[in-house]
Amino acid sequence: MDHLEELTEFARLHARGQGMSPDRASAVLDRIGNDTCGDPASWAAVWTAAGKVAEARGDLLDACRHYALARFPYAADGDRVLAQHLCVESFDRWRQERQGIERLEFRTPDGTFAAWASGLDGRRPRPLLIVMGGIVSVKEQWAPLLPLLRKLGFAVVVTELPGVGENTLRYSPDSWRMLTYLLDSLAHRARVTETSLLALSFSGHMALRAAAEDRRIGRILTVGAPVTDFFTDSDWWPRVPRITVDTLRRLTRTDDEAELRTVLGEFALTPQQLRRVRVPVRYVVSSRDEIIPARDQALLRRDLADVRFKEFDDVHGSPAHLGAMRRWLFGSLLRLRLRGAPAEELTVPAATRTSPAPLDERPRHD
């Protein structure tokens, strides 16, 4: 599979994950002839032009979706850097037309990152929910969920993995410390001692590592998170898509694949670290996952105190089952939240109410 063919295959999945119809994605993809920066028929140029059409008709969120795909999988050239800027700018304009969504910016000794937030309130702090995507997912594609999650009673913050989008931090084995930094920074505006993490793919690995150290994290919901074997299994590695390999090299700032493999070995979670994760973990498995080996889920079953799985017959991230996946994740989040909430917080908005069934406390696969 050549570069453009692989880009196209992944983009179809990510377009669907953002709510773009297959016909709409195909209409754009059919106009792309190359991936050469500066060529009007190139990947970034065609997606960006489609985004500007959506912006001209006043659909800023649709424009944002197109710009997110124009910078896919990362902003490596001038056209993609422009698309990244337009993605953030169009979402910023969209949220300014509404109430209750704010932009946060964080400056650390190692770099900067940004977030979109809703429900933060120093006078009446709510339980914190942090949402983070994987190595190619910008925060803007998740941020439209902010109003819903606020209605569920959370202070919600949507941000990005180190190296992704506006995050200038390097992705490293210590990247989990970004989550602890975020909790420290938000402690005056949210109940960070009751933190939930909706952390997808590689950010799910960050969440597991952070929960082994930071007791403020109360629950983790993830989809296709690598654990150990992805980082260490030399037999599995040749199956990993080239886009994934190239993106990881970009985020880790390694010079070649050999250096990348050496660095990734340091990411592998040990049994001791996993056993320190004493919080509920809810994990979506994709049966045809082309990125995460099945043994990584087996390690979680063996070492985690409270883990449940939901499996879909799909590729990494289960993009063809987006609705069912979100229902399961949000239903799990609500059940876990209600299980530990004070009595005065047990009222759920009618529009988002679920009927949580009694929970079997034993780890299981469902």
% the chain with pLDDT above 90: 81
User: Each residue of 37-74: pLDDT tens digit?
Assistant: 999 999 999 999 999 999 999 999 999 999 999 999 99
Please answer whether residues 286 and 317 qualify as being in contact, where contact means their C-beta atoms are separated by less than 8 angstroms. yes
Task: Write the pLDDT tens digit of every residue in 272-299.
Answer: 999 999 999 999 999 999 999 999 999 9
Q: What is the mean pLDDT of residues 222-242?
A: 96
Question: In which element (H, E) is residue 309 found?
Answer: strand 307-312
Is there a contact between 118 and 186 (Cβ–Cβ < 8 Å)?
no
pLDDT of residue 111: 96
pLDDT band of 1, cuts 50, 70, 90: low
Half-sphere exposure of 335 toward its Cβ, with a 13 Å CA cutoff? Answer: 19
Tens-place pLDDT, residues 134-163: 999 999 998 888 998 999 999 999 999 999
102-343: in CATH 1.10.3720.10: no
Mean pLDDT, range 327-342, rounded to an integer: 84
Within 8 A by CB and 6+ apart from 251, the residues are 74, 135, 161, 162, 163, 164, 170, 171
pLDDT at 342 over 60: no
Mean pLDDT of the chain: 90
pLDDT tens figures, 204-220: 999 999 999 999 999 99
H-run or E-run covering 310: strand 307-312
Q: Where are the alpha helices (DSSP H) in 253-315?
A: 257-265, 271-275, 294-303
pLDDT at 223 over 90: yes
Write down the pLDDT at residue 354: 34
> Percentage of the chain with pLDDT > 70?
92
pTM to 2 decimals? Answer: 0.90
Element (H, E) at 103: strand 102-108
Structure-token pair, residue 120: 């933060």
Q: How far is CA 22 from the centre of its chain?
A: 21
Within the chain, where are the H helices? 3-17, 22-29, 43-56, 60-70, 78-96, 146-151, 177-186, 202-211, 229-232, 242-252, 257-265, 271-275, 294-303, 322-340
Residue whose token pair is 């809810």:
282
